[in-house]
């Protein structure tokens, strides 16, 4: 095995700076910290999580963070940034999580390291053949100081599905969730105050080993980093304006459109850049066979509303099975809407009462207009549509711990 994903200049977080998560429905095993802060000695069992008091941490900007012990009244000191003007952009935080394994083996242990650049061989599988996946989820801060995650086990399941398609080993769901929890708590001071945004969590799985001929890489790295974020679209919850792309396609049948591989996103940049240059917010793609059925926007799923019916394109291998998409369908059903997952034509889109997009980054984003073959169709005269607003409020209230979690979707970190 060639060890060509060396993380240089990084130091594991000391054990006394970590706090374990807890949840009544998802009980997690406390990490066993050594000098290198290794986690996960297989087999990993789901058990009740112990709690550890935290000490102080200091960032490379010299700011000191003091994190509360469950038995003290000391509160977390937030990072010194402008929380009121937080956009959706990358910001360096304190720690990242790293776990490695060889092809044909299982991930067994990981560690927290100071956030920093990584070193890769020029022949790494991720760089030469795009053998990589990523996930996205968020952590929210409640008014009482508790930290909430939204359905992280779903991200772990989706990563495993994508890893199989991309011929990569993957952490177990339990390993994935525990790694997310540990990373979030190590970067707790970067979680925005309630109502100011969220902590975006980016897990990566990549072929880090050197490979010259076309083949799976000999070594793999699972990495998590985080960044505080505000709204994905600059419009916020205000309506966005989309253009339907008729020449380029995001995915094709039999390809990798249904998994969160890195190549899916590079493929949309040309059309997206052209659309934004013309003043549009993003691009809506059609299927590559008939060129008349909706697929998805560059990085989110699309829904349309007609009367009491909410429709969205069915998952058939070319559309990413979004976790927010899945959640919105369940929330809509619970609120009395009829929901349909089926082929949705562009003609139906233009005749809809309301259109909105969903995704981890955008949550729910109402669509104000669609432009198709030079024709612009607008939706609603009062800005955000009633259904979009209703579903956005319902889902974000769950995610932020404002409403009761009857779905058992929330993981609470203390």
Q: How confident is the model at residue 235 (pLDDT cuts 50, 70, 90)?
A: low
Residue 2 falls within a domain, yes or no?
no
Structural domains of the chain, count: 2
pLDDT of residue 52: 30
Q: Are 120 and 208 in contact (CB under 8 A)?
A: yes
Residue 253 falls within a domain, yes or no?
yes
Q: Which of 260, 270, 306, 375 is catalytic?
A: 260
Spell out the residues 6+ positions from residue 378 whose beta carbon is closer than 8 angstroms to its own: 368, 369
pLDDT of residue 77: 87
pLDDT higher than 50, residue 226: yes
Residue 309 tokens read as 């019916």
Q: Are 199 and 191 in contact (CB under 8 A)?
A: yes
* Percent of the chain with pLDDT strictly greater than 70: 80
Distance separating alpha carbons of residues 34 and 378, to the nearest angstrom? 59
Spell out the residues 6+ positions from residue 78 whose beta carbon is closer than 8 angstroms to its own: 189, 190, 191, 192, 193
User: What is the pLDDT averaged over residues 346-372?
Assistant: 96
pLDDT of residue 165: 97
The enclosing domain of 362 has a CATH number of 3.20.10.10
* Percent of the chain with pLDDT strictly greater than 90: 78
Residue ending a domain, among 196, 230, 264, is: 230
Q: Are residues 274 and 378 in the same domain?
A: yes
pLDDT of residue 382: 67
User: What is the pLDDT averaged over residues 365-374?
Assistant: 96
Bigger pLDDT: 386 vs 238 = 386
Q: Are 296 and 267 in contact (CB under 8 A)?
A: no
pLDDT higher than 60, residue 21: no
Write out pLDDT tens, residues 370-379: 999 999 999 9
Q: How confident is the model at residue 231 (pLDDT cuts 50, 70, 90)?
A: confident
Q: Report strand pairing: 294-297 vs 282-286.
A: antiparallel
pLDDT of residue 238: 84
Distance separating alpha carbons of residues 181 and 173, to the nearest angstrom? 12
Residues making up the chain, counted from first to last = 414
Q: Are 386 and 256 in contact (CB under 8 A)?
A: no
Q: Which of 54-63, 151-160, 220-229, 298-307 has the lowest mean pLDDT?
A: 54-63
Q: Are residues 248 and 225 in the same domain?
A: no
User: What is the pLDDT averaged over residues 231-239?
Assistant: 77
Write out pLDDT tens, residues 143-160: 999 999 999 999 999 999
Write out pLDDT tens, residues 328-349: 999 999 999 999 999 999 999 9
Q: Are residues 60 and 115 in the same domain?
A: yes
pLDDT higher than 90, residue 50: no
Q: Catalytic: 48?
A: no
Q: How confident is the model at residue 29 (pLDDT cuts 50, 70, 90)?
A: very low
Q: Are residues 210 and 143 in the same domain?
A: yes
CA 407 to chain CA centroid, nearest Å = 20
Q: How confident is the model at residue 76 (pLDDT cuts 50, 70, 90)?
A: low
pLDDT higher than 80, residue 13: no
Alpha-carbon distances, residue 361 vs 59, 67, 135 (angstroms): 26, 27, 11
User: What is the pLDDT averaged over residues 317-330?
Assistant: 97
Q: Are residues 120 and 29 in the same domain?
A: yes
Residue ending a domain, among 230, 265, 284, is: 230
Domain that holds residue 127: 15-230
pLDDT higher than 90, residue 321: yes
pLDDT of residue 342: 98
The enclosing domain of 79 has a CATH number of 3.30.470.10
Residue ending a domain, among 178, 205, 230, is: 230
Write out pLDDT tens, residues 255-283: 999 999 999 999 999 999 999 999 999 99
pLDDT higher than 60, residue 65: no
Residue 6 falls within a domain, yes or no?
no
């Amino acid at each position: 095995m060639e060890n060509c994903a060396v993380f240089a200049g990084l130091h594991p977080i000391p054990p006394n700076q970590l706090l374990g998560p807890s949840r009544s429905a998802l009980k997690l095993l406390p990490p066993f910290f050594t000098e290198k802060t290794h986690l996960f000695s297989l087999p990993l069992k789901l058990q009740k999580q112990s709690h550890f008091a935290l000490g102080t941490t200091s960032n490379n900007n010299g700011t000191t963070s003091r994190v509360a012990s469950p038995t003290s009244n000391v509160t977390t000191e937030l990072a010194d940034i402008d929380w009121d003007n937080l956009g959706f952009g990358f910001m360096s935080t304190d720690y990242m999580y790293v776990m490695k394994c060889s092809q044909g083996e299982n991930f067994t242990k990981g560690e927290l390291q100071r956030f920093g650049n990584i070193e890769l061989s020029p022949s790494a599988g991720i760089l030469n053949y795009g053998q990589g996946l990523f996930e996205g989820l968020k952590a929210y801060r409640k008014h009482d100081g508790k930290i909430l995650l939204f359905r992280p086990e779903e991200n772990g399941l989706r990563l495993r599905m994508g890893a199989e398609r991309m011929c990569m080993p993957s952490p177990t769901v339990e390993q994935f969730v525990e790694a997310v929890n540990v990373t979030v708590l190590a970067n707790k001071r970067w979680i925005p105050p309630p109502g100011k945004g969220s902590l975006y969590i980016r897990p990566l799985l990549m072929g880090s080993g050197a490979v010259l001929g076309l083949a799976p890489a000999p070594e793999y790295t699972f990495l998590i980093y985080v960044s505080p974020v505000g709204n994905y679209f600059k419009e916020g919850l205000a309506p966005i304006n989309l253009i339907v792309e008729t020449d380029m396609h995001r995915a094709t049948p039999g390809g990798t459109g249904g998994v969160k591989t890195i190549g899916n996103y590079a493929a949309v940049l040309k059309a997206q850049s052209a659309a934004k240059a013309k003043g549009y917010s993003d691009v809506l793609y059609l299927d590559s066979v008939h060129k008349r059925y909706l697929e998805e926007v560059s990085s989110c799923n699309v829904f349309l509303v007609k009367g009491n019916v909410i429709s969205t394109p069915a998952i058939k291998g070319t559309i990413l099975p979004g976790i927010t998409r899945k959640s919105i369908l369940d929330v809509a059903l619970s609120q009395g809407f009829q929901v349909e997952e089926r082929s949705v034509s562009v003609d139906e889109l233009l005749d809809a009462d309301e259109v909105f997009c969903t995704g981890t980054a955008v949550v729910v984003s109402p669509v104000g207009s669609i432009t198709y073959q030079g024709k612009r169709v607008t939706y609603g005269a009062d800005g955000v549509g009633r259904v979009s607003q209703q579903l956005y409020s319902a889902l974000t209230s769950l995610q932020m711990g404002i409403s009761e979690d009857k779905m058992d979707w929330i993981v609470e970190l203390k």
